[in-house]
Every structure is written in C-alpha cells, then in structure tokens.
C-alpha cells in the first residue's frame, strides 16, 4: 500500500482500512461511511488492548476465509495478535461442544451457526452477553451502527431471555435457482405459488434428455430444510407453546407430500443420496430446471470454469405457500466464550468482524449474504460487484420474508437425523403421514428430555 | 546361576524373592495396559449405566440404556447391516483372493510386475479410495453407469438405492482388500510340498482333484488366517461407509459403528454410546471365539 507511512493513529488506520476495502468510489455510497468519518472526531481507542493475543475459532467456509484474509488489518488497527483456527463445520461444532463442556476453552472468539447451536449455546450460557459491552462507551466503537443489522440477523443473535450473546455475521435464506434457458424453451414463467412449482417441475422434467424438473437435497439430515421450506409456507411450525411437536399435523403432511412429489417424481435418479454438492453439480451441468437451497451458491454458478449455465441462472424468491410466503433461513455469527479471560479484545474483534467494510467485502466477493442492510444498499451502486443484480434483489426480498428454517432447540442434529430419515424413506416410496407420525413420536421424548435437563 | 545347583532349603526363599523381582519388571507394562486398556474399558462400562448427555448432568439409570438399545429397531437393524456387510466383505475377497493367488502362483511373463500392480489398492488411503468411489457411483455423472451403458445395460442406482447400497459398498471393500487375501494365500501356496502332487499325478488325478484334495486342505489354515483378518477389518469398517453414504439412504447402510458415531459425536449421548460399545464388544468377542474354534478345527485336520 502506497500510503502505508508513519501514520499510526486509529483514524489513519480506519482510513486505510476503508481505502483497502472499498476504494474511494464506493466510500461515498455506503450509508454510515459519512457517520464513520464524523465518528472519527470523537476518537475511539482501538489500541486499548495493544499487545494482547486472542484466539479465534472459525469454520472453514468462504466467510471464514474472508475474515482470515483480513486478520492482518485487525492486527494493524488494534495491536492485538490474532491466532486463528479454521476447521470444517462438523468438526468445529464437535470441538466447540467438548471444549465448552470442559469448562475451559482454548479460544476467545467462536463462530456459531445459529440454526444448529443457538439454543445449545444459549441454554448453557457458553457465550458472553454483549449488551453490557455494547453499553460501555469505552469499549464500543460509536460507529458500530447497531441498527444497521437486519431484523432477521438480530432475531438469530437474540436469545429468548433477551440476551444477545453474539453479533450476527451472515444470513442464509433459501431460494430457488432456476435455469432460464430451460424455462424459456418451454415458455414457462417462474412459479409464484406452491402448485405452480410442482406444475413447472412436471413440465420441465425430461428424463429422456437427462433433465430433472426439480432438484434438492435428499440425503438424510441435510434434506430437512427443504421440507421445512414448504412447511413454513403451509403455515406449519415445529413446536407449539406447550412444547409438543407439531411436525405431524396437516401442514407438515402437505409439505412432506410436496417434497415427495418434487423429489421422487421430478427429481433425478438417486436423489435420496444427494447433498447440496450433488444437487449443485447437476444444476451446473444444466441438467436441472430448479434447485432449492441456501442463497450462498451464486459464485460457483457464475464461474465459467465450473458452470455450464453462466448467465442463464435465475435467482427466485421462494414462492408463496397456501398460508404465507416464507423463506427458510440459516445464519451464522460470532460470539465471545464465557470462559475467555480476554473479553475486551474479543469484543473489539467482534466489532471488526461484523463491520461495514467486511460485510461489503462478503457481498463483493459473493462469498455469502451479509447481515447488514448497508452492504446491499452500497452494492446497488458499486461497480466491482461479482454477485449478479438479480441475486442481490432476491436476497433483499428473501431477507424480508425469512424465518428460521430449523426449530430453535438443543437437539437440532437429532431432529435433522430423525426427520431426515423419514424424508429419505418418502423419496423411496414411504407414506408421508405415517413417516412423520413415527418420526414425531420418536423425537418428542428427545426434545422433552433436552428441555428438562 | 542355575537354581538347581542351590541347596534345597534356601532355594524356595530365593525363588520367591526372585519372583518378587519379576513382578517389579512387569510393573511398567502392567501400568501401561491398565492405563490405556483396562481403565478406559471399566470407564466405558461405568458410563454405560448412566444417562449422560454432554452438557448436562449424568444420572444413574442402571441397565436402562441397554433396554432402550434392545428395543430400538434402528439399533437392531444396524446389527443386521453389520453382519450382512461383514459376511459379504469376508466371503467375496476370500474367493477372489484365492483365485488370484492360484493365478499368480503359476509361471508367466511379467508375473512380478503384475503382482505388484495387483496389490496396489492396498496401499491407498481408505478415505481417498472412498471419495473416488463416491464419484464413480454417481447415478448421472459416475463412470460405473457409463460403463454399464457401454455394455448396453440399464443404469444402476448403486449406493443411492436402499437395497443395493450394502453390496455396492462391498465392491469397494473387495477392490481394496482382495490383494491382502491373495498375499496370504500366495504365501501358503509357496510353502506347499511338491511330492503329493507328483504322486497324485502318477495316480491320474485331474487338476480339479489336485486342487480339491491337496491344495485346498493344505492352504486351509492360511485361509482361516485371512478370514480372521478380514472379519476384524470388515467389522470395524467405518471410513468407507461414512464417507460414501454416511449410513444412508435413510439408515440402509447404518452399521453399528456408524450408529455409535452418531450417538457419541453427533447427539452427544455418551451413556447410550457406551452401551453400544459394550454390546459391540460382546459381539466381537463371540465372533472371535467362533473363529478361534474354526481355526483349531482346521489345525486338527
């Protein structure tokens, strides 16, 4: 960097940070960037914890890569050394549970997947409530702009008792990727309701040409959000006020029937073993008309080295169900371990990780869907955005209608396993009502036990 | 130094003293065994009578975990899957490995080179092998269905079908471990005497008779060794199944090991998982006794 000179004050650091991330042109486009400059007059001391060292524990993903890539920037800005460990999701989750359970963690900051770990971490109070930190003017950058975090993101980060034990980082609403070329060839419009999805899948399904009308996850455990995407649209839910599962009521059965029809009748052969990557590769080959999954796959779909459908991909908001229009949503964030002895430096890290610059970078590199509204507003005017325009619009609309795609309970993994098996069995011909009844009966005691202990 | 040279009376005391000295020498080994084998074992037994989920308090429940296991159709199915998988994954390599050994026992050009190529699968890492096979099994883009289509056969679902999944997984095992059986049997063949063959030929025995009445009985002990090793390997198979199917579709290829992994490391039900370990241990023990019995019998014949 040319202007990396003897300026070392926090303002210079921040200026440098902005220049590095956005370029001068994008700077004006970011709401809050003006605020940022204004805030510079009331100096916030980023160097407060100079010389300390924190450990962060991330998940290997494009989001984890993004943060790791810019750790140097945080270190320069704060004088805090960052030691980071980044491992695949499944292993990260196991290690986290074991470390928290031992009552002492090797990390200070941890990445959390809300859709899997929120209730578990919240119930055990494994992460620090950030509200006192937020209120502390000496610890919180006045430019944090808390109101900029989207509602869906904050809903994820807030526990039922009001504790906010993390800062949200990205949300992942589920959308339908569709192949415009196949749709146009048969003169079919993007569906606006559930029956239209089934109808379009039926018309576009062409086994002779190896084209499937619809593809989504069929593999047990991974497949549950596909079903819940329909379930929410049918007005269904997971658990009623009395703690009873509602996963075998009429809405759940209708959703399961729709899942069965779409995957078993209009899906590819062997879809019962498909996770997102098999579904993705089919769609990349132009062999699937529609693919329902999380929004984070724009990058491979638009990559000419991997994809045969570059420029032909439509990004569709989840169509309205009979009761309501909902996009099932996942989400991730970062929190501070309750066992950490370096809460101050860790809080600075959290603020940096979820700041506007990093959020914008996420969008710019299409590595995920940021949780801050400002990132999208900035992206609408910025030039060097890799993500397609329709994807950004789809994201904005989906975020407005998003609801958690999995129940917020402790045994999420068991929920996904038990209902996942039921769904896989349905693909192989089992009766939806019977399977759901069995799965619900099997899971109810597991849920009861987890809430009791 | 020999104790027999000692007078009778002090001899007993000396021996006792010496025996005490021996105990001192086995102490380190005993400590290690107690620490890494006996203690974890007792601890597992202890955990198996508790209802303990990581993150919550453990309650003593007696044999409740075992009762639940035996009442769980999913666990019982996993036992069936384990036996089904093990039986196929032992028998198929035994037949193919013996056939291959008979071929490689003959003289033909490039025998050494071909033998080397044949045992190459054994050197590959199981997870890498499993990943490659996963791609080959893919119903649309996999090479196996392409080969079927070249032969004019309809495509198969391989590991994506609940009924075909275990035989398909066994194909991977067979590819991977037939060479091991071949090596063991080949060793046995090399050690065979030539006289019985010569006299049998003089008596006009056919090739099949030579194999059936001379070769097979003589290499039988080696076959049993191969069977024991294969059984151990097949019972504990985890990586191949976990990587290729994760126990699916549904639970169609969920073996005891996969069930155990889920209980312990996905659901964190340590009590239940410990009970599975204990049951699995009993099964392994029973199988080991059976195989030992078979081995004694082949020795005797």
A262-288 residue pLDDT tens: 999 999 998 998 999 889 999 999 999
The beta strands (E) that lie in B7-133 are given as 50-51, 59-60
The two tokens of residue A402 are 């998003």
Average pLDDT over residues A383-387: 72
Token readout for A24 is 């001068």
pLDDT at position A9: 45
pLDDT in tens, A50-61: 999 999 999 988
A149-176 as b/e: b if 16+ CB within 10 A? bbebbbbbbbbeeebbbbbbbbbbbbbb
Name the stretches of chain B with pLDDT < 50.
1-6
Q: Domain B64-300: give its CATH architecture.
A: Orthogonal Bundle (1.10)
Please tell me the predicted confidence (pLDDT) of residue A38. Answer: 43
- Domains defined for chain A, CATH in brackets: 10-172+330-403 (3.40.190.10), 173-328+408-452 (3.40.190.10)
User: Nearest CB to A97: which of B55, B249, B250?
Assistant: B55
- For residue A197, which of A248, A285, A267 has the smallest C-alpha distance? A267
pLDDT of residue B301: 53
Instruction: Establish if B141 touches chain A: CB-CB under 8 angstroms.
Output: yes
Nearest to A413 among B160, B251, B266 (CB): B266
Instruction: State how far Cα A229 lies from the chain centre.
Output: 14
Domain ranges, ordered by start, for chain B? 3-47, 64-300
pLDDT at B9: 53
Q: Which of A276, A291, A108 minimizes the C-alpha distance to A211?
A: A291
Indicate left, alpha or beta for B247 from its phi (over 0: left) and psi (-120 to 50: alpha): left
* Count of Cβ atoms closer than 10 Å to residue B117 Cβ: 11
Residue B30 CA: distances (Å) to CA of A69, B27, B35, B40? 51, 5, 8, 14
**Structure tokens of B231?**
């059984």
pLDDT band at A36 (very low <50, low <70, confident <90, very high): very low
Q: Give A146 to chain B, closest Cα distance, Å.
A: 32
| Long-range contacts of residues A17-22, Cβ cutoff 8 Å, at least 24 apart | A17/A73, A17/A77, A17/A357, A18/A357, A20/A73, A21/A357, A21/A358, A21/A360, A21/A361, A22/A357, A22/A360, A22/A382
Contact in structure between B11 and B3 (CB atoms under 8 Å): yes
Tokens 């060479």 map to which residue?
Answer: B179
**Rounded to whole angstroms, how far apart are CA atoms B152 and B74?**
38
Q: Is the peptide bond before B249 cis (omega within 30 degrees of 0)?
A: yes
A428 inside 8 A of chain B by CB: yes
For residue A417, give the nearest of B57, B262, B265 by CB distance: B262
Show residues of chain A in contact with B53, CB under 8 Å.
449-450, 453
Tokens 């006045």 belong to residue: A142
A124-167 per-position pLDDT tens digit: 999 999 999 999 989 999 889 889 998 888 989 999 999 999 99
Provide the whole-model pTM: 0.83
Q: Cβ of B141 and A100 within 8 Å?
A: no
Check if B250 contacts A (Cβ < 8 Å).
Answer: yes
pLDDT at A266: 97
- Determine whether the interchain pair B161/A270 forms a contact, defined as Cβ–Cβ distance below 8 Å: yes
- What was the pLDDT predicted at B10? 56
Q: A74-89 burial string, b = 16+ CB within 10 Å, else e?
A: beebbbbebeeebeee
Q: What confidence score (pLDDT) does residue A25 get?
A: 38
Helix, coil or strand: residue A275: coil
Which of A122, A127, A263, A273 should be substituted to probe chain B, the one whose Cβ sees the most B Cβ atoms within 10 Å? A273
The string of pLDDT tens digits covering residues A203-247 is 999 999 999 999 999 999 999 999 999 999 999 999 998 889 999
CA angle, A45 then A51 then A57, to 5°? 95
Interface test with B, best of A270, A281, A306, A415 (most B CBs within 10 A): A270
Whether A273 contacts B245, CB under 8 Å: yes
Asked whether the beta carbons of A119 and A410 are under 8 A apart, the reply is: yes
| Interchain contact B139–A (C-beta under 8 A) | yes
Whether residue B248 and residue A219 make contact (CB cut-off 8 A), yes or no, is: yes
Q: Which pair of tokens denotes residue B256?
A: 């005891």
Residue A41 has pLDDT above 80, yes or no: no
Collect all residues with Cβ–Cβ distance below 8 Å to B86 and sequence separation of at least 6.
Answer: B231, B234, B235
Lowest mean pLDDT among A2-11, A329-338, B58-67, B254-263: A2-11
Which residues in B245-265 are b (16+ Cβ under 10 Å) and which e? Answer: bbbbbbbbbbbbbbbbbbbbb
Say if B217 is an interface residue toward chain A (CB within 8 Å): no
Over residues A103-107, the mean pLDDT reads 92
* Helix and strand element counts for chain A (H, E): 21, 8
Of all residues in chain A, the percent with pLDDT exceeding 70 is: 90
Q: Per-residue pLDDT for A449 more than 60?
A: yes
Provide the pLDDT for residue A32.
Answer: 43
- Closest-CA distance, A377 to chain B, in angstroms, reads 40
């Amino acid at each position: 960097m040319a202007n990396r000179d003897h300026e070392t004050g926090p303002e210079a650091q921040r200026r440098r940070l902005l220049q590095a991330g956005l370029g001068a042109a994008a700077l004006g486009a970011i709401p809050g960037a003006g605020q940022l400059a204004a805030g510079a007059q009331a100096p916030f001391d980023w160097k407060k914890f100079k010389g300390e060292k924190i450990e962060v524990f991330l998940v290997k993903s494009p989001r984890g890569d993004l943060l790791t890539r810019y750790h140097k920037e945080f270190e320069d800005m704060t004088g805090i050394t960052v030691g980071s460990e980044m491992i695949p999701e499944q292993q990260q989750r196991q290690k986290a549970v074991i470390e928290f359970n031992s009552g002492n963690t090797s990390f200070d900051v941890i990445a959390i997947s809300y859709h899997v770990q929120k209730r578990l971490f919240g119930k055990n109070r494994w992460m620090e409530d950030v509200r006192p930190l937020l209120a502390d003017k000496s610890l919180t950058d006045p430019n944090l702009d808390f109101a900029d975090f989207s509602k869906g993101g904050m809903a994820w980060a807030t526990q039922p008792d009001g504790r906010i034990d993390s800062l949200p980082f990205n949300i992942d609403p589920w959308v339908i990727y569709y192949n415009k070329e196949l749709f146009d060839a048969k003169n079919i419009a993007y569906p606006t309701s559930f029956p239209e999805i089934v109808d379009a899948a039926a018309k576009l399904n062409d086994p002779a040409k190896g084209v499937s009308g619809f593809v989504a996850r069929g593999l047990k455990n991974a497949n549950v959000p596909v079903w819940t995407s329909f379930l929410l649209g049918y007005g269904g839910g997971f658990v009623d006020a009395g703690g009873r599962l509602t996963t075998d009521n009429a809405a759940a059965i209708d959703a399961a029937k729709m899942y069965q029809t779409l995957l078993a009748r209009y899906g590819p052969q062997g879809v019962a073993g498909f996770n997102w990557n098999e579904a993705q590769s089919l769609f990349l080959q132009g062999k699937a008309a529609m693919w329902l999954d999380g929004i984070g796959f724009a990058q491979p779909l638009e990559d000419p080295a991997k994809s045969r459908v570059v420029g032909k991909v439509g990004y569709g908001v989840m169509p309205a169900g009979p009761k309501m229009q909902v996009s099932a949503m996942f989400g991730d964030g970062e929190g501070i371990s309750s066992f950490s002895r370096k809460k101050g430096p860790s809080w600075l890290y959290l603020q940096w990780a979820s700041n506007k610059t990093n959020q914008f970078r996420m969008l710019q590199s299409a590595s995920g869907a940021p949780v801050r509204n400002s990132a999208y507003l900035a992206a609408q005017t910025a030039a060097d955005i890799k993500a397609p325009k329709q994807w950004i619009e789809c994201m904005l609309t989906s975020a407005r209608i998003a609801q958690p795609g999995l129940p917020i309970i402790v045994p999420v993994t068991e929920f996904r396993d038990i209902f996942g098996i039921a769904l896989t069995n349905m693909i192989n011909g089992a009766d939806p009502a019977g399977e759901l009844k069995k799965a619900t009966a099997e899971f109810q005691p597991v849920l009861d036990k987890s809430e009791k202990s | 130094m020999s104790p027999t040279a000692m007078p009778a009376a002090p001899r007993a005391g000396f021996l006792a003293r010496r025996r005490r000295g021996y105990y001192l020498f086995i102490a380190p080994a005993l400590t290690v065994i107690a620490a890494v084998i006996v203690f974890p074992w007792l601890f597992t037994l202890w955990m198996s009578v508790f209802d303990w989920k990581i993150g919550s308090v453990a309650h003593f429940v007696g044999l409740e975990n075992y009762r639940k296991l035996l009442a769980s159709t999913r666990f019982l199915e996993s036992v069936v899957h384990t036996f089904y998988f093990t039986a196929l994954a032992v028998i198929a390599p035994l037949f193919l490995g013996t056939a291959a050994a008979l071929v490689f026992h003959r003289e033909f050009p490039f025998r050494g080179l071909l033998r080397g190529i044949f045992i190459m699968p054994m050197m590959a890492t199981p997870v890498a092998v499993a990943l490659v096979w996963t791609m080959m099994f893919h119903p649309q883009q996999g090479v196996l269905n392409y080969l079927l289509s070249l032969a004019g056969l309809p495509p198969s679902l391989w590991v994506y079908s609940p009924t075909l999944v275990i035989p398909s997984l066994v194909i991977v095992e067979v590819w991977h471990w037939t060479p091991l059986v071949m090596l063991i049997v080949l060793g046995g063949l090399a050690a065979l005497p030539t006289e019985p063959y010569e006299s049998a030929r003089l008596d006009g025995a056919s090739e099949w008779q030579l194999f059936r009445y001379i070769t097979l009985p003589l290499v039988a002990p080696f076959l049993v060794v191969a069977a024991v090793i294969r059984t151990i390997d097949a019972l504990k198979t985890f990586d191949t199944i976990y990587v290729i199917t994760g126990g699916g579709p549904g639970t169609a290829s969920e073996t005891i090991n996969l069930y155990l992994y889920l209980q312990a490391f996905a659901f964190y039900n340590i009590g239940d998982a410990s009970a599975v370990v204990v049951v699995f241990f009993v099964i392994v023990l029973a199988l080991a006794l059976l195989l030992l019995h078979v081995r004694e019998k082949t020795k005797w014949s």
